[in-house]
Amino acid sequence: MIAPRSRLLFWTGMVLLPAGFLAAAVPPFTALCALAAAAFLVIAALDATASARILNGIRVETPPVIRLTKGRQGLINITIHNDSETARALRLGLALPVEMSSANEYLDTMLPSGARRLNVVWPCTALKRGNYALDRLYFESGSRLGFWAVRSSAPIQTEIRVYPNLAPDQKTLAALFLNRGGAGIHSQRQIGRGRDFEKLREYIPGDDFDEIHWKATAKRSRPVTKVFQIERTQEVYVVLDASRLSARELEEPGGAIVTQFERFVNAALVLGQAAERQGDLYGVLAYADKVQRFVRARSGKAHYGACRDALYALEPQVVNPDFDELCSFIRLRMRRRALLLFLTNLDDPVLAESFVRSVELVARQHLVLVSMPTPPGVGPIFSGPDPGTSDALYGQLGGHMQWHTLREVQQVLRRRGVGFELLNNERMCAQLVTQYLSVKQRQAL
């Protein structure tokens, strides 16, 4: 594609317009003016024809995968191949998605003479977590006389993965990530005896009767005691609700408005880092009307990347959660006893009843803790600021009724061995990690 540049417009005004006025004002100069105008048009046409293939031999290349963090400036690396090795000014254009911003509308660069390859970077900032694709890169160069802009494009296949920004949540857990000397969260002191069987030994006076291994005692004709050890590696799963109620809006610690599911993803990844520090295995499970993502509990840097890749592009769906299918999936796929941390919403009475009925299937084998963000305005009456108007008073009464309903759900779940807690939005990650460390210390798992 070829397009006129400002130089062509300038010289058109400098040649054709004076020639036209001169021909109209002085008829004897008509032929000379026509000859000058024709010569200018021929030169412009020859410049366009000679420069039509000026971009031949120029190829562009971008990485197949680019990883960015939401809210942080990142770089898109572009490699330009110049087979002709001639010096040339080049302007690049990239059609970024609306979820990404850049201070540059285009990027000007200069291909040096004798160089077949040039690397440039395009700075940009991702505004939203997700997966985006770049399929074409545009470039432009001037013609030999500068009258025309020769434009072309090249197909590219680049996937941009925008991961959640955990820095604001990590600031609330500075002790966890600054583990130096006597500061920081270290492996927790565990209360009571272990639960993992280690070995058998001879009976010692004072051993409890529930520690005696009766089959070995009958076989050896003398008392034999079981010895247990502290669990060093346990499985921890964060179960995220990606249904319609998770699309509610919350305010991030930085002030941005995001969905509840965005906060759930951040909390799950922060908890994964805490579990890694404690030496446990961790995994994630996301569900809506069916199981969307499942990463089995493991450890290590590569596994953390797998959990992050499983969640970064997931968005809440406008469907009701299917707790029956979820609990059946957990029962069939998770054979080993594990800590299940549910991040969901139970302020809908119908969904709460369905969850209570379904969770009994997994609570018999696993330790289940349910956490829910506190809805705005929900709390005991008169626990907030004094109501200034009657409307504010009725609003507090409505919030108290919702809080009372959630307290009843908490009591029902407690009778089934399931913990339930309301989380503060700004301290969600810290409260979730505190729950996990409390379980570790009490050996409740």
Mean pLDDT, rounded, for 93-115: 87
For residue 348, the tally of other CB atoms under 10 A from its CB is 14
- Report d(CA 51, CA 39) in Å as an integer: 18
Q: Could you read off the pLDDT of 7-18 as tens digits, one per residue?
A: 888 888 888 888
Mean pLDDT, rounded, for 307-327: 93
All residues at 6 or more sequence positions from 75 whose CB lies less than 8 Å from its CB, including other chains: 121, 122, 123, 124
- Report d(CA 332, CA 338) in Å as an integer: 13
- Residue 176 pLDDT grade (very low, low, confident, very high; cuts 50, 70, 90): low
All residues at 6 or more sequence positions from 395 whose CB lies less than 8 Å from its CB, including other chains: 377, 387
How much is the pLDDT for 66? 93
Mean pLDDT, rounded, for 339-356: 93
Six token digits for residue 233: 């590696």
CB-based contact 154:128 (threshold 8 Å)? no
Longest distance between any two alpha carbons in the chain, whole Å: 135
- Residue 296 pLDDT grade (very low, low, confident, very high; cuts 50, 70, 90): very high
Average pLDDT, the chain: 85
Of 406, 409, 408, 384, residue with least CA distance to 396: 384
Of the given ranges (145-149, 237-241, 369-373), which has the lowest mean pLDDT?
Answer: 145-149
Mean pLDDT, rounded, for 418-436: 89
Of the given ranges (61-65, 99-103, 174-178), which has the lowest mean pLDDT?
Answer: 174-178
Mean pLDDT, rounded, for 47-53: 81
- Report d(CA 406, CA 372) in Å as an integer: 10
Of the given ranges (27-41, 70-84, 318-332, 362-376), which has the lowest mean pLDDT?
Answer: 27-41
Between 381 and 267, the more confident residue is 267
Look up tokens 């030999």; give the residue: 144
How much is the pLDDT for 163? 93
Six token digits for residue 104: 């540059």
- Report d(CA 266, CA 430) in Å as an integer: 11
For residue 75, the tally of other CB atoms under 10 A from its CB is 12
Phi, psi dihedrals of residue 98, rounded to the nearest 5°: -65, -20
Q: Region of 416 please: left (phi>0), alpha (psi -120 to 50) or beta.
A: alpha
Q: What pTM does this model have? A: 0.78
Residue 383 pLDDT more than 80?
no
- Residue 380 pLDDT grade (very low, low, confident, very high; cuts 50, 70, 90): confident
Of the given ranges (123-132, 303-312, 379-388, 426-435), which has the lowest mean pLDDT?
Answer: 379-388
Six token digits for residue 22: 């001169």
How much is the pLDDT for 250? 82
Mind spelling out the 3-state secondary structure of the chain?
CEEECHHHHHHHHHHHHHHHHHHHHCHHHHHHHHHHHHHHHHHHHHHHHHCCCCCCCEEEECCCEEEEECCCEEEEEEEEEECCCCCEEEEEEECCCCCEECCCCCEEEEECCCCCEEEEEEEEEECCCEEEEEEEEEEEEECCCCCEEEEEEEEEEEEEEEECCCHHHHHCCHHHHCCCCCCCCCCCCCCCCCCEEEEEEECCCCCCHHHECHHHHHHHCCCEEEEEECCCCCEEEEEEECCHHHHCEEECCCCCEEEHHHHHHHHHHHHHHHHHHHCCEEEEEEECCCEEEEEEEECCHHHHHHHHHHHCCCCCCCCCCCHHHHHHHHHHHCCCCEEEEEECCCCCHHHHHHHHHHHHHHHCCCEEEEEEECCCCCCCCCCCCCCCCHHHHHHHHHHHHHHHHHHHHHHHHHHCCCEEEEECCCCHHHHHHHHHHHHHHHCCC
Q: Could you read off the pLDDT of 264-275 as tens digits, one per residue?
A: 999 999 999 999
Mean pLDDT, rounded, for 56-69: 89
Of 221, 197, 230, 222, residue with least CA distance to 211: 197
Residue 178 pLDDT more than 80?
no
Residue 186 pLDDT more than 80?
no
* Alpha carbon distances (Å) from 49 to 44, 52, 55, 169: 9, 5, 13, 59
Of 276, 277, 272, residue with least CA distance to 309: 272
Residue 406 pLDDT more than 50?
yes
Mean pLDDT, rounded, for 405-411: 92
- Report d(CA 78, CA 92) in Å as an integer: 10
Mean pLDDT, rounded, for 417-426: 90
Mean pLDDT, rounded, for 46-72: 87
How much is the pLDDT for 180? 47
* Alpha carbon distances (Å) from 335 to 147, 181, 241, 300, 322: 73, 38, 22, 21, 21
Mean pLDDT, rounded, for 358-372: 93
Mean pLDDT, rounded, for 169-194: 55
Mean pLDDT, rounded, for 118-124: 91
Q: Give the chain's length.
A: 445
CB-based contact 139:154 (threshold 8 Å)? yes
| Percentage of the chain modeled with pLDDT above 70 | 93
- Residue 362 pLDDT grade (very low, low, confident, very high; cuts 50, 70, 90): very high
CB-based contact 303:280 (threshold 8 Å)? no
- Report d(CA 314, CA 162) in Å as an integer: 11
Beta bridge partners of 251: 257
Residue 366 pLDDT more than 90?
yes
How much is the pLDDT for 124? 92
How much is the pLDDT for 341? 96
| Percentage of the chain modeled with pLDDT above 90 | 38
